[in-house]
Amino acid sequence: MIICLTLQRNICLLYCCLYPEDYCIPKKRLVEYWFCEGLLNAFDRIDEAQMQGDNIIHSLISACLLENVSEMDEGDSVKMHDVICDMALWITREFEQRIILLSMQRLNYLKNQMLRH
Instruction: Write down the pTM of the prediction.
Output: 0.73
What tens digit of pLDDT does each residue of 24-79 get?
Answer: 999 999 999 998 888 888 777 778 889 999 999 999 999 999 999 976 555 699 99
CATH number of 7-82: 1.10.10
Q: Which residues pair with 26 in a beta bridge?
A: 77
Query: Where on the phi/psi map is residue 18: left (φ > 0), alpha (ψ -120 to 50), or beta?
Result: alpha
Q: How far is CA 115 from the centre of its chain?
A: 41
